[in-house]
């Protein structure tokens, strides 16, 4: 299986941990679209946009304060591209009723010709839950049931579901996606998120792990057994979409980049969600191109 590549799309989210360069602060919509179109030209598999509605000012020094709305943003990208996947990375499940997500993502799937990847997470920022009026406690169990409900409703004009937290029937949801199967990638920074991905998802997309922690977790015999059982049960492996940190520099140090990524690949990575060490719009695009060369040369 070829290694899949996607980008943590620049400009859309300004994370102070990664010291965003000045061009991202002042970039235009046209700049971002140019990056997305270049990613598509280079054969990247997806572009991503995350979800936060209201970041507490006190938390912005760690999480950043800028988060473009993923549904509007990915819809705009859909109109300016033809092939590349459109990933919500991550939509926060407890902020939405499952049918709301089916309608929003299903409409985007129709508009884009079936290119939606539903990246879903349970959320972790309690003050944001509070200000939006959503209950923080019990969000894990509610999210699990929401994923089951989304699967049951996707592609059905008259969906029906009777679960532990959500029930619906007798309501029309149109559009609701272009097929009866939407890729669901589970995000998170806990072992529980991996369990959720194994039980309910198609991919695990962790964040917040150091490389050594993540590779050790994926090398654990029990985890390897669980991954093998997933493949036996579904016929395809659970995708492991990993996010290397710190940002990589394939243009300036291709050999070092390959060596840095190799342990992730050995641990089972099937794809990478990438940030680049970059200082301008042109440099960012050059880094994307250089990364494709690193993958070819390294044989990933």
CATH code, domain carrying 202: 3.20.20.30
Measured in degrees and rounded to the nearest 5, phi and psi for residue 251 equal -75, -45
Listed residue (142, 145, 174, 141) closest to 157, CA to CA: 174
Give the chain's length: 300
Residue 5 and residue 291 in contact, taking contact as beta carbons nearer than 8 Å: yes
pLDDT digits (tens, 9 = 90+) for 262-300: 999 999 999 999 999 999 999 999 999 999 999 999 999
pLDDT single digits (tens) 47-58: 999 999 999 999
Residue 1 has pLDDT above 80, yes or no: no
- In tens, the pLDDT along 239-265 reads 999 999 999 999 999 999 999 999 999
CA–CA distances in Å: residue 94 to residues 56, 169, 234, 261, 297: 18, 21, 27, 33, 42
Tens digit of pLDDT for each residue in 118-175? 999 999 999 999 999 999 999 999 999 999 999 999 999 999 999 999 999 999 999 9
Looking at the structure of the chain, the number of domains it has is: 1
Q: Structure tokens of 238?
A: 């659970």
d(CA 84, CA 9): 13
* pLDDT tier, 179 (very low <50, low <70, confident <90, very high otherwise): confident
Grade residue 2 by pLDDT with cuts at 50, 70 and 90: confident
Q: Are residues 79 and 109 in contact, defined by beta-carbon separation less than 8 angstroms?
A: no
- DSSP letters along 89-143, please? TTEEGGGS-HHHHHHHHHHHHHHHTS-EEEEEE----HHHHHHHT---TTHHHHH
H-assigned helices in the chain: 22-26, 29-41, 60-63, 70-80, 98-112, 126-132, 139-153, 191-200, 211-219, 221-234, 254-266, 281-298
Report how far residue 88's alpha carbon sits from residue 2's, in angstroms, rounded to the nearest whole number.
22
Q: What percent of the chain has pLDDT over 70?
A: 100
Give the domain extent around 257: 4-298
Nearest one of 146, 102, 153, 100 to 121, comparing CA atoms = 146
Q: Residue 234 — pLDDT band, cuts 50, 70, 90?
A: confident
Note the pLDDT of residue 40: 98
Q: What is the pTM of this model?
A: 0.97
Is residue 185 within 8 Å of 202, Cβ to Cβ?
A: yes
Q: Which two tokens stand for residue 178?
A: 């272009």
Sign of CA dihedral 1, 204, 278, 32: positive
Q: CA end-to-end span of the chain, whole Å?
A: 9
Question: What are φ and ψ of residue 77, in 5° steps?
Answer: -60, -35
């Amino acid at each position: 299986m070829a290694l899949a590549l996607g980008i943590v799309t620049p400009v859309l989210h300004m994370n102070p941990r990664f010291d965003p360069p000045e061009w991202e602060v002042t970039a235009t919509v046209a700049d971002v679209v140019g990056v997305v179109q270049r990613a598509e030209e280079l054969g990247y598999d997806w572009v991503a946009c995350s979800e936060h509605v209201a970041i507490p000012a006190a938390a912005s020094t760690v999480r950043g304060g800028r988060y473009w709305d993923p549904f509007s943003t990915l819809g705009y990208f859909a109109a300016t591209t033809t092939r590349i996947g459109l990933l919500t990375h991550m939509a926060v499940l407890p902020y939405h009723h499952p049918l709301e997500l089916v309608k929003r993502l299903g409409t985007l799937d129709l508009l884009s010709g079936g290119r939606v990847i539903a990246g879903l997470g349970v959320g972790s920022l309690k003050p944001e839950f509070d200000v939006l009026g959503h209950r923080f406690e019990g969000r894990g169990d509610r999210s699990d049931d929401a994923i089951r409900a989304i699967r049951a409703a996707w592609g059905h004009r008259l969906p029906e579901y009777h679960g532990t937290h959500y029930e619906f029937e007798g309501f029309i949801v149109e559009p609701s996606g272009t097929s009866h199967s939407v890729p669901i990638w589970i995000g998170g920074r806990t072992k529980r998120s991996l369990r959720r991905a194994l039980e309910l998802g198609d991919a695990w997309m962790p964040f917040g792990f150091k490389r050594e922690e993540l590779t050790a977790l994926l090398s654990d015999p029990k985890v390897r057994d669980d991954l093998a059982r997933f493949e036996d049960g579904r016929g395809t492996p659970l995708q492991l979409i990993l996010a290397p940190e710190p940002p990589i520099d394939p243009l300036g140090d291709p050999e070092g980049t390959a060596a840095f990524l190799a342990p992730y690949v050995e641990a089972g990575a099937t794809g990478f969600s990438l940030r680049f060490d970059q200082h301008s719009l042109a440099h960012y695009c050059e880094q994307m191109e250089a990364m494709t060369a690193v993958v070819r040369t390294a044989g990933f």
